[in-house]
Amino acid sequence: MAGGDTRQEAARSALARQLALARRGRSLLHPFIGRTQCFEAWRHYPASDAVDVTGRWQFYYHAHGDSRDGGARHPQEHGHIHLFRRDPQGQLSHLAGLSLDARGTPLTWFATNRWVTGERWMAARQMAQGLNDLQLRLRGPLAGVALWLADMVRVYAAPLHDMLLARDEGLARHCEHHQASRKSAWENRQIAVWSSFPIDWPQDAVELQGQVSSQHN
C-alpha cells in the first residue's frame, strides 16, 4: 500500500472511531476519565498508564491545570496524551505529546524536554523509526483510543519525524549558544518544549482524502 493510501486509511479509521464515540454522546476524553466529577490536574489517566500488549509502547492522559508552568500547548487545551517508546527494561523515551481540547479534539503535537517526563533520551532518527506502521493494541476500555492514537501517529508520521529532528536541532543550538552541556539543557526548567506543530483536525483528514483521490484520477 502506498504511503498516501496508508495515511488516508489511518485518517478514515481515526475519524470513524471519534464518530462512534460521538454517537454515544462521548468524546476521546471519556475512555480516559469517564464521567468523573473530580478530574485532578497532574494525575495520570489511567493511574498506572496504558501499556500495549507488546510492552513496546506506553501512554497516559493528564492536564497541568495552570498555564503559568509553561505546560499549556494551545490556548484551548484541556490536557494532553504523552506517548512513549518502552524498552525491555521498562525505560521510557518520549515520542510525542498530543494536546486535546475539552471536546477531545486534537490540537497540537509537541516534543518535550527531558525533565518533563524523566525519559531516557533517544535520538530523533531512532525515535522516529516505524511511525508509518505503528500499532497500539490494548485490552479493556482504552483499546479503542489506543487504535485511534496509532492512527493519528500514522497520519502525521512525516511531520512527527520533522518535529523530533527540530527537537534535537533546538537542543544542539541551545547548547552551542549558551555553552551548556546536554545534561544541563535537559534539566533547564525554562524549556519545557523543544518543538511542536499545530494540526487542523478533522480538516487535515478531509484534505488528505482529496489529495489521494486526485492522485488516483
Tens-digit pLDDT profile for residues 95-115: 999 999 999 999 999 999 999
Distance CA 58, CA 82 (A): 8
- Statement: residue 22 has pLDDT above 90: yes
pLDDT of 4: 64
pLDDT of 68: 44
Q: How confident is the model at residue 74 (pLDDT cuts 50, 70, 90)?
A: confident
- Statement: residue 121 has pLDDT above 80: yes
Total domains in the chain come to 1
- Which range of residues forms the domain containing residue 29? 3-216
- Statement: residue 212 has pLDDT above 70: no
